[in-house]
Structure 1
């Protein structure tokens, strides 16, 4: 699909949006809107479509300042940001892999429950956060960390409950195919993710 190729080419090398000029950002948003008009999965929560949604997704572009600001932490660099969706459990895990000084690679993870509230919107309630050094967390992959988080055991000294009544939002899934997902959040942010 030409629109998908155009979008992926436009965001290549932009470091999730941090390296995009204002003109490039406008062109990327136009490409996103054009692709959303061609959404092959307008109802991602129907039984036939949940397998497309389920899995690990890597963030390749966003307008979320909260996520883009992670790259502005002194002596740190965000390597990858994942959003891992477990449809059967109605759980989303957001993970940011952070590199810095040797042997001090970090990890930030947030777990949330989601509930579909329309044919393309989910209500998201954040429940748990884990922050730590990858070495001490014995981090190997998103799947490994998620499996250990699902046990409910405390994984690091900074492993905390989040008040889901105060920390919640919604996300519209505006494009979904076998390897690309676009979402728009309640704070106006856009997210483009590729399936890993």
Structure 2
């Protein structure tokens, strides 16, 4: 019974990855430009460091985010499974930012629950304690292709909190509803009372088999709003089981791209929408410097592992401000491929030359040489402080920054 009640709360315990307003958007590339494999190489020696130009103004909708809000959302970028399957280093950093955020805004009084800003549909982007949930709840949290929302309607004759799991546009959704009351203007008290699956392929709803009336206190809970932004875009809440939730009302084009990657559909269209609408600064080695994790590649099936490592079509890419570059791929547990060389910028817009001159295969304590030499042209289609979209040898790549300059 207890597990069933926890499962009913699962719809509020997950959500897709979102990003805040971008700080360093790139200049839109010229139409039709595409990098190709070619023999251009980078000049030897140390590359001069240039001071990165200041960020340009972003769209009015994105300016609704404060610096602290953007910092938090950027910290959550790349956290997959809503905190379930994330690497310990990234989860620790994300949780620390959440704690700092709550402490920073603890004295702000505009977040009271009776504010009209809390009304509406919220998409959950992160939870700090997914491992404490029931098996069903952990399943919802760990599937990035599920979009999970919380709808809050308190200023009506029938106040309600509705948790929604959207499986896909073609399958349907699960709605778990609770009657709600407000305590002391801040805490939402709720009791689950009904739930149903709404499948697109059925003409009727399928009741969710949870006997809420028989569960007593197990069907009850509360939700504190610990932060609500002045614009109503970001909310941080804490539940009765100690879980912290970070929710967002609207998604920008970067977030729509990450949602498409999670769902596995519409990625190319989302890339085109993002790269065609953003205006920004020109990319250089300062903006490229850092550790980047590949999220998506347009095609890798027909390529050899040596080419994949050389071109950076999988795994992690490390770029330093002096032009040193290293690609790291782990095709199997205990086995890694690396390819290293350098990168330099062309005089032509956001185009770069990549020269890979050595590679290696690492298996346990053994190392073997790998012929990963190659010369590539890379065009940066979009870059900010967290996301990078590039085109290399007719492959479109989407990376997320997991570490700053190294």
Question: Into which bin does the TM-score normalised by the smaller protein fall?
Answer: 0.7 to 0.9
Structure 2's unaligned 5+ residue stretches are 1-65, 251-406
Match of 1:44 in 2: 112
Q: 1:38 deviation in Å?
A: 3.2
2:140 pairs, out of 66, 70, 74, with: 70
Residues 7-40 of structure 1: per-residue CA shift (max 9 Å, x gap): 1011112232234222222211211122112334
Residues 108-165 of structure 1: per-residue CA shift (max 9 Å, x gap): 110011212234222111111112423436xxxxxxxxxxxxxxxxx51325662273
Match of 1:175 in 2: 227
Q: Does 1:91 align with 2:169?
A: no
Q: Does 1:27 align with 2:93?
A: yes
**SS in structure 2 opposite 1:44?**
coil
2:179 pairs, out of 107, 113, 120, with: 113
Match of 1:140 in 2: none
Q: Does 1:162 align with 2:232?
A: no
> Residues 128 and 9 of structure 1: is their aligned pair in 2 closer, same or farther, counting only changes over 3 Å?
same
Query: 2 CA distance for matches of 1:173 and 1:19?
Result: 26
For the 8 Å contact 1:174–1:183, the answer to whether it is kept is yes
1:195 pairs, out of 249, 252, 261, with: 249
Q: 1:188 deviation in Å?
A: 1.4
Residues 51-101 of structure 1: per-residue CA shift (max 9 Å, x gap): 1100110011113344442255xxx764310001112232011000114xx
> Residues 168 and 44 of structure 1: is their aligned pair in 2 closer, same or farther, counting only changes over 3 Å?
same
Query: 1 CA distance for matches of 2:88 and 2:185?
Result: 33
Q: 1:106 deviation in Å?
A: 3.7
Alignment of 1:116-127 (within 5 A): 116-127=182-193
Query: 2 CA distance for matches of 1:34 and 1:134?
Result: 42
Match of 1:148 in 2: none
Query: 1 CA distance for matches of 2:236 and 2:179?
Result: 19
**SS in structure 2 opposite 1:28?**
helix
Query: 2 CA distance for matches of 1:60 and 1:25?
Result: 13
Structure 1's unaligned 5+ residue stretches are 138-154
Q: Which runs of 4+ in 1 moved over 4 A?
A: none
For the 8 Å contact 1:41–1:176, the answer to whether it is kept is no
Structure 2-normalised TM-score? 0.38
Q: Please, what is the CA RMSD of the aligned residues?
A: 2.5
Aligned residues: 170
Structure 1-normalised TM-score? 0.75
**SS in structure 2 opposite 1:136?**
coil
> Residues 116 and 14 of structure 1: is their aligned pair in 2 closer, same or farther, counting only changes over 3 Å?
same
